[in-house]
Structure 1
Amino acid sequence: MSEPPSLKKPKKVPLPNMLVPSLKEKKEMSGSITLLLKHKGDKIKEATNVKVPVAVHDHFNRMARPLAPKPPISDFRRTTRKKRLKEFSKKEFEKDEANKNVQEFLEGAGLQSLSDVDNIAKSPLAAQFKLGYSLTTDEYRKVIGNCTQMRRVEEWYLQMAKEGKVMFPVFYRDEDFHHCDGIVWVPFKELFQLYNLKEVDLSLIQLWVLMGALECRTTHNKLGFLDPQIVNSTKIEGGEKSEKEVLDYLYTSFVKLQDMNTILLPYHFKPHWILLAIHLNDSKIVVMDGMRTPQAKFQSLVDTLDKALVKYKKRIQHAPCSNTFRVWCHPYCSRQDPGTSTCGFYVMKFMRVFMEDGNWNITDSEKLKLPTSKLLPHVCFSLAKQLCGFIVTHIISSNGAYNISRAPAGLMGLIEAGGPSDTLDSRSMTKDT
């Protein structure tokens, strides 16, 4: 068995190169400490009558004086310094901006340096519209080929293109847009945009509004629509005369649509589309926007709507109490990816939700159940199929509600002229009786 460890403290061994004090030095050190402890409470007498040298007096007197202010620089030096600083800061700012742009470009392209630019793969050019050629591209040819309505519209377009026509007319009545009868001219180029899921132009949005107006009248849905050709940023910001035209149209439409639960206004301000759901009874506007645009971008429209509301309130006895609209941007709607140009499809989708059920409370998010994600391509194609079905049934067909053969004699001059011009207005001044 091993012996237990010893309880004795080990002897301290001095470290190498360490001076060990002698016994005499230890006694002197102990005595000095004892003397200090004995006179601990005694007051130390201050030295008096000590002469301070004059140089020391002068030194501390100079230190106590405040610093003299720096003399101002001359106007010439100030001007040259300011100019030099401006040039320097501008050059540094431009240099930083250039470096930032280069860095963003490299990160977006997946490159390490600008020397790798030659290694970027060249993307094919986007297909362009050519009159007389197919509306479909190789990317969506298979999808469109399975849709009967879209094929019929394309076949009809090819036949019209052989006759040299670049657009087709659509007749509408006062009950659709709440102003005099007129014609919407739709370029075939816009059909190319629709077939390839690109930006949707004004004429196609007008066709979608006509489809919604006809459907709501058939189903007795209390949903009204406004003409985006009259109410848009170009008209509102185009001067006093054009703004008055918009104001008069809004006032007349409010009077005609006072029994409607909701009035839909697709509004365009370059380069974006939004949908405004107007509730006259409680003076409320609900904005449905895929890009969540700030209200300041379309504040001019809100101001014009407020003016129309004031005129409407003077005319109607049971008008709302408020003189201005309360604007609420709806958060529960599909969100559009930044940098894309499919806002027209989002407006069409929002309007379709109202057309299917326009009696629910739009502020009730649980009942609304709108997705907040982006619209997938198959959803956009379903909207395009519905619009093409409307074109085949109600525009191309001779018995269609919006076929040009139903236009009054006053509008036939536009058809014979071959399209709209600067001297011809697409809206007639006389209604068809």
Structure 2
Amino acid sequence: MTLSFRADMDKDFELMDPAIIAAAAAQGMTVTGAIERATEFGMTLRALLGLEDAPLSEVAFTYVPNGPLVEPAQEASLPTQMRNLLRWYKDFIKNKAGKEYIYAEVREEHHFKLYSVQVHMSELFQLLNLRELDKSILSCYVLMKLGECKKRNIHDVGFIDPHIVNGYVLERYPQDVERDLYKFLKEQQLKSQILFPYHFGVLIMDSLNMDSKLWVGIRLMLQKVWKRFKDKITGEFKDELEFKRLVNVDTQPPGTNLCGYYVCEFIRRHTSERRPTNINLRRNDLRKKLSPETRFRPIQEELAGFLVRKVLHPK
């Protein structure tokens, strides 16, 4: 029996192993998807699914307050803006500032009222290591694109800020969500598109690719606010909002947590790359062939640069 034949047999046994099937299903993955993810992380399938202890070298790199944001071996490979963000962080912890947050200022020209977006240091770790993004980072991306649209004279695209309209606020302060949603619609009524990266409270998700029961609350709230908007604002508007599932839209693969990056990429394609030029068309085709690390590096660089220029050192 050759080694390659034995390896193929082992894979077949894994595909049929009830324990592996159950553990993968519990994490929302198929066995095939789990095998691919284990290969990506350089782990055994059983270690990935928690059926055996991972060797010390396979333990995931995690955030520790005042600890490193990236593994030392990865620092040299970071591009410019991510390296600048890391340099700031090293100076920050060296001076023992003791704060765990940075704040992005939101002005009335952005979202019609003054407030701050609180970004925890752990979110910088998530960003630099291509881990799942919190709503605070998505909100920063929206702020960045608002400024970019203004510079490029893009006036027909609007945004709803996921920092103040999200699942957590909807559940606890529905009146605030209703007021803010109405304000977003009223102030942006002439926009052709209003992009709304909705946040359920844990992860940014592709709502219409999910069970509709999971986002019924915001759907009902949108209809309520739309009725109020239609009754008060003069114009030709539909009686009710329609929710349509988009086709041929990139979504995160099963078993991954990169949905926030796909949301940023979608926003980028509707702002920075909105013109149907050959370069933009080729860029979009190329993305589908790239690894997540390569595909989303421009998003990481954009965000790191924005944080350094506009949040850490605002002029």
> What TM-score do the two structures reach when normalised by structure 2?
0.75
Cα offset, 1:152, TM superposition: 1.4
- Aligned residue number for residue 283 of structure 1: none
Counterpart amino acid of 1:262? Q
Alpha-carbon distance change, 370 to 252 in structure 1, aligned in 2, over 3 angstroms:
farther
Alpha-carbon distance change, 359 to 253 in structure 1, aligned in 2, over 3 angstroms:
farther
Match of 2:71 among 137, 140, 151: 137
Counterpart amino acid of 1:319? E
Structure 1 segment 200-279 matched on structure 2, within 5 A: 200-221=133-154, 222-238=156-172, 242-274=173-205
- Aligned residue number for residue 153 of structure 1: 85
Q: What CA RMSD, in Å, does the superposition of the two structures yield over aligned residues? A: 3.0
Q: Is the 8 A contact 1:334 1:374 kept in 2?
A: no
Q: Is the 8 A contact 2:133 2:203 kept in 1?
A: no
> What TM-score do the two structures reach when normalised by structure 1?
0.56
Counterpart amino acid of 1:200? L
Q: Is the 8 A contact 1:335 1:373 kept in 2?
A: no
Residues in 1 aligned to 2:162 and 2:197: alpha-carbon distance in whole angstroms: 6
Structure 1 position 386 matched with structure 2 position 302: yes
Cα offset, 1:132, TM superposition: 3.4
Cα offset, 1:110, TM superposition: 6.7
- Aligned residue number for residue 313 of structure 1: 230
Cα offset, 1:313, TM superposition: 0.7
Alpha-carbon distance change, 373 to 311 in structure 1, aligned in 2, over 3 angstroms:
farther
- Aligned residue number for residue 47 of structure 1: none
Residues in 1 aligned to 2:234 and 2:54: alpha-carbon distance in whole angstroms: 68
Residues in 2 aligned to 1:158 and 1:304: alpha-carbon distance in whole angstroms: 43
Consecutive unaligned residues in structure 2, runs of 5 or more: 1-16, 25-30, 36-43
Normalized per residue, the structure richer in helix is: 2
Q: Is the 8 A contact 1:140 1:196 kept in 2?
A: no
Structure 1 segment 326-405 matched on structure 2, within 5 A: 326-358=242-274, 376-399=292-315
Residues in 2 aligned to 1:272 and 1:134: alpha-carbon distance in whole angstroms: 24
Structure 1 position 299 matched with structure 2 position 216: yes
Residues in 1 aligned to 2:52 and 2:133: alpha-carbon distance in whole angstroms: 35
Alpha-carbon distance change, 332 to 156 in structure 1, aligned in 2, over 3 angstroms:
same
> What's the % identity of the aligned pairs?
25
SS in 1 for 2:243: strand
Residues in 1 aligned to 2:232 and 2:175: alpha-carbon distance in whole angstroms: 18
Residues in 2 aligned to 1:120 and 1:255: alpha-carbon distance in whole angstroms: 53
SS in 2 for 1:388: helix
Cα offset, 1:342, TM superposition: 1.3
Deviations for 1:15-36, whole angstroms, at most 9, x for unmatched residues?
xxxxxxxxxxxxxxxxxxxxxx
